[in-house]
Chains A and B, each alone.
Chain A
Amino acid sequence: MADSFGGYDAGGISDAVAVQRTLAGDREAYRVLVERHSAYVYRVAYRMTGNSHDAEEVVQEAFLRAYQKLQQFAGNANFGTWVYRIAANYSIDRLRQRRNEDARREAPSRTAEGESQIDPLSQLKDSAPSPERLAGSAQLAEKMREALDALTPAERTAIVMRHWDGCGIDEIAEVLKSNNSATKNTVFRAVQKLRQALQPFAEGRGAARAVAES
């Protein structure tokens, strides 16, 4: 299905042509790019930030930044990939900012109780429901959401880019502003943490399978 707007057919011109026309001052051509890639960028941003509010902000900001930097866009790369990277960069900034804000909100009560820094993952494990309670994909999805929220911004970005978007280690390293070796470790650490957080559920499923097979 092709949408028509402003004299353009969304399916009618390629990304490369739309970029060239935008650079020549044709704003309607940029509309083609925005309409074509928004949903994909939203899905990426949602996985990275974990909520619609931040995801929508990331989408808007990514396209605004892409417009401002369009001249830097080499043209030989894919526009979708390029705006994806801008969104990934902004997502990680947003995650870090949100984490700082959350930490500040929680700080007074923690210091009042004289607690030291709490590892969100350990909290997750302590409060983990028993395997019996964790049955069904809805619970697993919720558990996964909690586990992803407990990752650091770099770990979350790394696992989203690697798993869902199939990005290479060098691409992820570029977004994380890190080297390949450290990035591999970040992805591995993310998987380890997710695995630990999901362990009660995995054991529950394993036990259930064993019972079913016996």
Chain B
Amino acid sequence: MKHTDEEELFAYREGEMTGREAIAAHLQDCGECRAELERIEEVFQALNTMPVPDPGEEYGTKVWRLIADRLPDHRPGRGANWWAGFFMPRRLMALGAAAALLVLAFYVGRKTGPKAGGEEIVDAGKIRERVLVVAVGEHLGKSEMILMELSNAQPAEAGKNLINISTAQRRAEDLVEENRLYRQTALNGGDNAMASTLDELQRVLMDVANSPAEVTPAQFESIQKRIAAQGILLKVRVVRQELRTQEAGSKPAPAQNDSTAKARNKA
């Protein structure tokens, strides 16, 4: 007896009409193929065992809070430039002085006196690069401070059942948004090594931002362990040091060059 192969059985399970009657007839007579079909079915049953966390009843409100400021001011689909959202006042506030400097850098770059060939464009590019280096450096500095504070704090103070981390939490919330923008900028600029570090940092910042405002000593210790396990503090320090070196150089470093990315990869 010719057995039905795995692909045919899968197609049969999926409701495929081709050869359906013949397969059904075969299955009635063949215990081996019925068992094979059952084993395929078990895979789908097993898929249902994978738990998905419940985001909670207030999740929609939280998402709205996170995205409301990032929606463009104009009506949807009114053809504003993709970068328009970047210059929204509230976003500028979130990014702080760094973003304002970025705008300035564009302006200065444009106003640089006319020079021969493509020199003007190169200069503007260098200024933008330097401003970004400063901005990301500051962002990493702020992140490092929060991580340091959390890492060095005593998890269980005498007589305290709960530890208030609301200040660190609020700062982490602000940094999550900033971090996301810098990561996207790094990705767009092809600096995948930087993007990867910022991605890891984002996970840790989100961990802190999503924790309760008051945690038990055990929960606090768990946050500390997560920070330590990812080694993110060291990575942030290394990248920050590298950016400082870049910033201190008399000439701005070439934008997103290979050696920089390689150095970060090593880090």
B49 at the interface (CB under 8 A from A): yes
Q: Taking the complex as formed, is A38 at the interface, i.e. its CB lies under 8 A from any CB of chain B?
A: yes
Which residues of chain A from 1 to 44 have a CB within 8 Å of any chain B CB? Answer: 3, 5, 22-25, 27, 30-31, 34-39, 42-43
Q: Is the beta-carbon distance between A145 and B76 smaller than 8 angstroms?
A: no
For chain A, the count of residues having a C-beta within 8 Å of the partner chain is 59
A150, B199: Cα distance in complex, Å: 20
A53-B203, A141-B51 given; A195·B39 CB < 8 A: yes
Whether the pair B63, A38 counts as a contact (CB closer than 8 A) is: yes
Q: Is the CB of B76 within 8 A of A202?
A: no
A25 to B72, CA, bound (A): 11
Question: Nearest chain-A residue to B45 (Cβ)?
Answer: A140
Give bound CA distance, A107 to B60, whole Å: 39
CB-based contact A72/B180 at 8 Å: no
B:25-70 near A, CB below 8 Å = 39-40, 42-44, 46-47, 49-53, 55, 59-64, 66-68, 70
Q: Which residues of A contact B77 (CB under 8 A)?
A: 23, 68-72
Q: How far is the CA of A145 from the CA of B203 in the complex (A)?
A: 19
Please determine whether B47 and A159 come into contact, CB atoms closer than 8 angstroms.
Answer: yes
Name which residue of chain B comes closest to A107, CB basis.
B265
In the complex, how many residues of chain B place their beta carbon closer than 8 angstroms to a beta carbon of chain A? Answer: 45
Q: Beta-carbon contacts of A132-170 to B below 8 Å, as 1s and 0s?
A: 000001001100110010000000000100011000000
Q: A34-B63, A38-B59, A101-B192 are in contact. List 16 more A-B contacts (CB 8 A).
A: A3-B61, A35-B60, A38-B63, A43-B55, A56-B206, A68-B76, A68-B77, A69-B77, A70-B77, A97-B187, A101-B199, A104-B192, A104-B196, A141-B50, A148-B50, A164-B47
Sample of 26 A–B contacts (CB below 8 Å): A34-B60, A34-B63, A35-B61, A42-B55, A43-B52, A52-B53, A53-B202, A53-B206, A60-B67, A60-B70, A64-B67, A64-B70, A67-B71, A67-B76, A71-B76, A97-B187, A101-B192, A144-B49, A145-B50, A163-B44, A163-B47, A188-B10, A198-B43, A201-B46, A202-B39, A202-B46
